[in-house]
Structure 1
Amino acid sequence: MAWTDSEARAALTKLFAAAVASADPRVVLARHLPEPPMAGRVVVVGAGKSAAVMAAAVEDAWPHRTLSGVVVTRYGHGHPTRHIEVLEASHPVPDAAGAAAARVVLEAVAGLTAEDLVLFLVSGGGSALTTLPAPGLTLEDLMAVNRALLASGATINEMNCIRRHLSAFSGGRLALAAAPARVVTLAISDVPGDDPAAIASGPTVPDPTSFAQARALVAHYRMVLPAAVTAHLAAAAEETPKPGDPRLGKVDYRFIATPRLALEAAAEVARKLGLTPLILGDALEGEAREVGKVLAGIATSARAHGHPLSGPCVLLSGGETTVTIGTEGGGRGGRNGEALLGCAVTLDGAPGIWALMGDTDGIDGSEDNAGAIAAPDTLARARVAGLDPRAVLGRHDSYTLFKALGDLLETGPTLTNVNDFRAVLVG
């Protein structure tokens, strides 16, 4: 029996909800906690979109421990805590509140002993939220760098390589500040491959990249950066700590949620709904509209030929795409809306195929939606509304189109983040 529009939409929404729920710190964090110290202090610090709810989860798991510390999260992503201070700052463009919060975090771990334990709670968004300039640089310099990075088309790993070499907080520097205390990092991964050095630019782990690599990336993407930044990268005066650096001691890094686990949770729900799931990967990267085009091609093959699998099925994928904005600027919409519209334009009204693409943190880019849903009639309804889908895609204005159709996925902040979630349903 063919899937109806309402059935397909309901199924896709359930899959997204399952992916988000699998990364809820209130459910998954406690089982990853280390043994508390026998006599030393427990200092909890953190950065990221999930930092506040992660801190609350630690307090719930250790109700009888004396805890102190501070975490920084995105504006609007706060959560009540009893002992751990919660600060808020700007994301994705950093602000003075984030720089001040990074200093407070560094102060919180200063002067500890080998008997003490530092819990670092890290999740996506941590880089922007703790943008603390290296000596000789200003916040305005790093804000200009961040704008250049977001417009460059660089991958998240490439962006973080550059950020680490301009920061007084990232690239292992937080761990150096906490020494000789034991540092245990509890992480929600939002990066392809779950590389600890890339999550929030790796404040507690060695940095395998170099100033030379950062300079090469700037040249490759032809970024125009402030003169002070260019001079800092050229001088390479203080390299980040590298693997094997004795100052970092033993790195204890624990993942509590990852994109792969989120996709597996969605796949389990898909089977219960009568859909055969195929996880294409948790690290699909590239220009958003091109990723959407590729997913449309796979779905078309499944629908027409039963390859790589027959319907009813759902193609699941994760990973962070990019949107390269030209000199003409762009409209409204994040990378998930752009990928979804690219998919819909390529499908061109093909029957029996629906798709949902959204950010698991509930915010696609800087808008108020997590993403959107596209259906076989999306392009036709857009044209009735006076919108040319290809022109909308050309000016990066997917939010306007999906809002006009009432097809935005609006969840509000989910207080977790395992990056993008994409599901293409073939009925």
Structure 2
Amino acid sequence: MAKLNDPNAFLRSLFDVAVAAADPMACVPAALGARPSGRVVVLGAGKASARMAEALEDAWGPQEGFVITRYGYARPCKGIEIVEAAHPVPDQAGVEATARLLDIARGLGADDTCIMLISGGGSALLCAPADGLSLDDKQKLAADMLASGMPIGDINGIRKELSAVKGGRLAAAVHPAKLVCLMISDVPGDDPGDIASGPTVGHAGDADLAARTLANWNVTPPPAIEAFLRAGGAPVAADDPRLAGVENHIIAAPAQSLAAAARMAEDHGVEVRLLGDDLEGEARDLAAAQAAQAIAVAQERLPHAVVLLSGGECTVTRRGDGIGGPNAEFTLAAAVALRGHPNIYVLACDTDGVDGAAEVAGAVAGPDTLALAEAMGISAEAQLNENNAHGFFERIGAQVVPGPTLTNVNDFRAILVMP
């Protein structure tokens, strides 16, 4: 474990501890209990779902089942079939896998038990366009919403209106079997209806609201989607009798990972100031605000180090043509705001190991970041304006690339103020 005299490595250790706290191999067995009698079928979707399936089989032995995860996130399971599809924009493999999953769900009987494994990423991986909509429609809308800066809660609300599997529809398909859903939360507030767009949670439906939300964020939907929203869908409400008795359990969440990082920091004599586990907003704006907080802490001239910890989900409004996700953009914007402050170090990473669409978790920055870039002829401000944070940190060698972490409790941010 890194020592405090290497601030960048110490921040990376905090991130690693946060990820480990959400490892399905630890949290799934603790939530399972005894295996139900009779036929048990495991279904699931999300970036952590294959690891969740692996953990379940580690506890119960080989099981019957079918789980969809992101490319590169599969795990070796003994009985549960694992398939991979695209994220964050869905693809044909996801459509075909979701059709198979729905067929299995609809084939369950009243004496069967379905264990559902759901984690962040399930919104893209569970892709079943509602009648009259195409994969092309869903792909274009998904890409445009992600580029608009729209909050994830609004994105998921729109997804529910356009899906044959989200917003409680998967739970309805499982009926009359007993359904127990284990969830790893990646959404601010940990609302089960927002995790993977709530495939096992009823949704009242509001097509008019979805259309207004798209307009408010200047997103023009494809004509078929616009017409579908005008006509309205067929929601599965929370009081639908097919959802009676469904059990939804959140087994890991951002707060637990922040708490684990906080314990490690305190063990090293670092004062912890928690800023919240559900922060949202434009990445560069949140970075500027937290940089200002860090500077204020430095001005306290404390004899010990202080770390500001936060979680949640930032967004990026695409302004340029660069490559950058919200965590890398947060780090770059913080570095620009800090202007080489000699005592402050920053890390922002996504706990799933993927920041935006790049196979990079995020980045670290410190007092020498801007000077190093300037010596290489790189303007941090220009790169920020182009949304090219990943390109910036790749060139100066400050990316955090853990590979697939096999879990997902959203963004992890730590700003270390040294004495």
Task: Give the alignment's TM-score, normalised by structure 1.
Answer: 0.95
CA drift at 1:310: 7.4
Q: One-letter code of the match for 2:313?
A: E
Match of 1:300 in 2: 295
Which moved further from structure 2: 105-114 or 343-352?
105-114
1:192 aligns with 2:192: no
Cα deviations by residue, 1:5-35 (Å, 9 ceiling, x for unpaired)? 9521121011001100000001111111154
Separation in 1, partners of 2:195, 2:150: 16
* Alpha-carbon distance, 1:116 to partner: 1.2
Report the CA distance between 1:375 and its aligned residue.
Answer: 0.4
The 4+ residue runs of structure 1 with deviation greater than 6 A are none
Distance 2:303 2:211 in 1: 47
Separation (CA, whole Å) in 2 of partners of 1:230 and 1:311: 56
Compared with structure 1, are the counterparts of its residues 356 and 257 closer, same or farther at alpha carbon in structure 2 (3 Å cutoff)? same
TM-score normalised according to structure 2 size: 0.97
Cα deviations across residues 337-385 of structure 1 (Å, max 9, x unaligned)?
A: 0011111100001111001110101111122221111001111111001
Counterpart amino acid of residue 316 in structure 2 = V
Alpha-carbon spacing, 1:170–1:32, altered in 2? closer, same or farther (3 Å):
same
Structure 2 distance, partners of 1:401, 1:113, is 54
Query: CA shift at 1:311, angstroms?
Result: 4.3
SS of equivalent to 1:305: coil
SS at match of 2:416: strand
- Find the aligned partners of 1:148 and 1:278 in 2 and give their Cα distance: 36
Given candidates 156, 177, 183, the residue that maps to 1:181 is 177
1:237 and 1:124, CA in 2 relative to 1: closer, same or farther beyond 3 A? Answer: closer
Say whether the 8 Å CA contact 1:54–1:121 is kept in structure 2. Answer: yes
3-state SS of the aligned residue for 2:278?
Answer: coil
Q: Does 1:318 align with 2:311?
A: yes
1:43 paired residue number: 41
- Report the counterpart of residue 19 of structure 1 in structure 2: 18
Query: Contact 1:171/1:205 (CA < 8 Å) preserved in 2?
Result: yes
Q: What is the Cα deviation at residue 237 of structure 1?
A: 3.8
Q: Distance in 1 between matches of 2:354 and 2:303?
A: 32
Q: Choose from 356, 362, 374 the match for 1:365.
A: 356
Structure 2: 5+ residue runs without aligned partners?
A: none
User: Which letter does structure 2 place at the counterpart of 1:361?
Assistant: D
CA change 1:94–1:179 in 2 (3 A) is same
Counterparts of 2:219 and 2:140 in 1: how far apart (Å)? 10
Using the TM superposition, give the Cα deviation of residue 130 of structure 1 relative to its aligned residue in structure 2, in angstroms. Answer: 1.2
The amino acid across from 1:10 in the alignment is A
Equivalent residue number for residue 260 of structure 1:
255
Matched letter for residue 217 of structure 1 = T
CA distance, structure 1, for counterparts of residue 106 and residue 205 of structure 2: 26
1:271 matched residue in structure 2: 266
C-alpha change, 1:92 and 1:41, in structure 2 (3 Å) is: same
Pick aligned residue for 1:53 from 51, 54, 66:
51
Q: What aligned pairs does 1:400-411 form with structure 2 within 5 A after superposition?
A: 400-411=391-402
Structure-2 residue corresponding to 1:396: 387
Which residue matches 1:73? 69
Contact persistence 2:328–2:348 (CA under 8 A) = yes
Equivalent position SS for 2:144: helix
Partner SS for 2:334:
helix
Deviations 1:93-130 (A, max 9, x none): 11000011111111111232222111110111101111
Q: Which amino acid aligns with 1:26?
A: M
CA shift, 1:212, in A, is: 2.1
Name the SS of the counterpart of 1:194 in structure 2.
Answer: coil
Could you tell me whether the CA contact under 8 Å between 2:192 and 2:250 is conserved in 1? no
1:90-105 correspondence runs (5 A) = 90-105=86-101
Structure 1 residues 348 and 338: alpha-carbon distance in aligned structure 2, compared to 1, 3 A threshold: same
Instruction: Give ranges in structure 1 of 5+ residues lacking alignment.
Output: none
Over the matched positions of the two proteins, sequence identity in percent amounts to 47
Does structure 1 residue 125 correspond to structure 2 residue 105? no
Q: For 1:360 and 1:247, how far apart are their aligned partners in 2?
A: 34
Output aligned runs, 1:159-170, within 5 Å: 159-170=155-166
Task: Verify the 8 A CA contact 1:303 1:311 in the aligned structure 2.
Answer: no
Tell me the equivalent position of 1:241: 236
Q: What CA distance in whole angstroms lies between the structure 1 residues aligned with 2:104 and 2:124?
A: 19
* Equivalence for 2:343: 352
Report what 1:332 is aligned to: 323
Out of 6-15 and 349-358, give the one that drifted further: 6-15
Change (3 A) 1:380 1:6: farther
Give yes or no for the alignment of 1:413 onto 2:409: no
User: 1:144 is aligned with what amino acid?
Assistant: K
Render the CA deviation track for 1:53-99: whole Å, top value 9, x for unaligned: 11111111102xx6211000000111100000000000111100001
Which sits farther off after the overlay, 22-31 or 110-119? 110-119
* Alpha-carbon spacing, 1:279–1:209, altered in 2? closer, same or farther (3 Å): farther
Asked if 1:374 is matched to 2:350, the reply is: no
Distance 2:204 2:274 in 1: 30
Deviates more, 1:5-14 or 1:252-261: 5-14
Match of 1:7? 6
How many equivalent residue pairs?
Answer: 417
Once the two structures are TM-superposed, the CA of residue 186 in structure 1 deviates from its matched residue by 0.6
